[in-house]
Structures are given as structure tokens and as C-alpha cells.
Amino acid sequence: MICAGIDAGSRATKVVLFDSEQSRIAGSGIADQEVQYERLAAAVLERICQETKVDRATVGAIVATGCGRNAVRFADTTITEITCHARGVHYLMPEARSIIEIGGQDSKFITLEDSGRVRDFAMNDRCAAGSGRFLEVVAARLGVDLARLGELSRDSHQAALISSMCVVFAETEIIGLLAQGVAAADIAAGVQNAIAQRVAGLAGLAVVPPVCFTGGVALQSGMVRALETALGCAVSVAPLPQYTGALGAAILAGGLSRSPGR
């Protein structure tokens, strides 16, 4: 039985097809977010079905997650991102006991039981601080694209101190640092350190290794090093870091398909 998970996030929609009988990923796809969450989700799902030669009509249960999950009305049900990321990470890295997830507009720290069930979590969802959006603003101010920002930080000799994590104030602070002649590489490294410290604040004393890093920001080189320094332990990037939420949703959809009455 092929089931689908849809992660309608703030910056992108991710779709995963999962073969629940063979316990394997059957297909995946991503697209930049649009105003119409449902239309984009349907289009990405259809595209992935075509690419994998799966008949859309044979897809079993569909679970939606992410901030736009309630807009995906063709899904059979919705499940929170916390639960879906936990399930997706446990499938990919069953040894993980802590998850750092940094997406477009929020960041999360999740601790897991040995079974992969959520033990506890903390979430920053009140502002864009410590998120992908924050990094987008920084990259624009430094005159580089987002992919280049992570590479830029590797050239840092002394990371700048970024005292504000509010996007508006941090942008003003960065302008001041540039005016003082601080290297863009040092500012980029300073921003990554500031995000890592914010995540460490979310985690508190609850960091239980192994730690898995997921979400779109996990693709930023330099962030792993910053997190390891802030947390004082090794951090591993999950395979398919952008897809863990959609993968978890698809796996959970497989459970719905096997429920009585379906």
C-alpha cells in the first residue's frame, strides 16, 4: 500500500510517498510555497505519482502536517509537525534521541523515547528569530544567496557577536558591523552561532545524544559546527533533512490505511 505525507511548510511544500508494506520511501518531491497551499500540495503529489509511475487513485491514506496542514483539505487527517518529524527521524535514524528542526519560520527541539515516541519538546514560533527566514534576511543584507551564506561562514577568522535575535534589530546591527569593516564571513559565522545558542536555550538541560539535525536549515554548511559548540555534543544531519516531516506523515498514513474500516 502506497500512502502519502504532505508537509505544507511556510517556505516549501514537501511530499513523500511511502510503501507501508515494504517499509520504504517510494518517491519524494518539493516545491516553493505558494499562497494556495492545497493547490500546490495536489500538484506536487500528482507530479511525484507520475515520476514514480504510481496511480494517484491507488494512493491510500494521506496525512498532512506543517503550518498549512489544515488548508490541505483532500488529506484524510492532519498530524502535528512534532509527531511527524519524530516519526520520520526515527525511521531514518532510529538511534536518535534528540531532534533539532529548524524550518522557514520556527525552530524546535524534540526529545524521544527509545521507541521513537515524543518525550518532550520546545518550540520557538513567536518570531522569525533562529529560522530559515532569519537567514534569508541576513543573506540578502550580505549580498549573497542563501546557499552561499553557509559557505561564507567557513572563511571566518573571528565570528562577530550578534547580540539581537530579532530580525529587524539584527539587520540594523549587521548594517552597523559592515560599516565598521567587519568581514561578511565573520558576520555569517556570528549569525550561525547566535542561532545555535538560541536552540541551546530551547534545549535547556534536556540534550540527550545522539542528536539529529533536520529541516531546511540543516543544509546550511557551518550550522552543524555551531550547534555542536553550543550544545557540547556531536550533531548529525538527517538523511533527506527537508523531508522528515512529510516522511513521518506518510508513515503514519500507512497506519491509518491498516485501521479497521478503511
Mean pLDDT of 49-74: 96
216 & 248 share domain = no
Could you tell me if 8 and 137 lie in one domain? Answer: no
> Whole-angstrom Cα distance, residue 250 to residue 256?
10
Domain count, the chain: 2
Domain residue limits at 249: 1-93+243-262
Do residues 149 and 177 both lie within one domain?
yes
Tell me the whole-structure pTM to 2 decimals: 0.90
Say whether both 109 and 89 belong to one domain: no
Within this chain, do residues 223 and 248 fall inside the same structural domain, yes or no? Answer: no
pLDDT at 128 exceeding the cut of 70 = no
**Does residue 180 sit in the same domain as residue 231?**
yes
CATH code of the domain containing 230: 3.30.420.40
pLDDT given at position 141: 87
Percent of the chain clearing pLDDT 90 (strictly above)? 64
Residues 2-25 have a mean pLDDT of 95
Tell whether 70 and 143 lie within a shared domain: no
Whether residues 110 and 86 fall in one domain: no
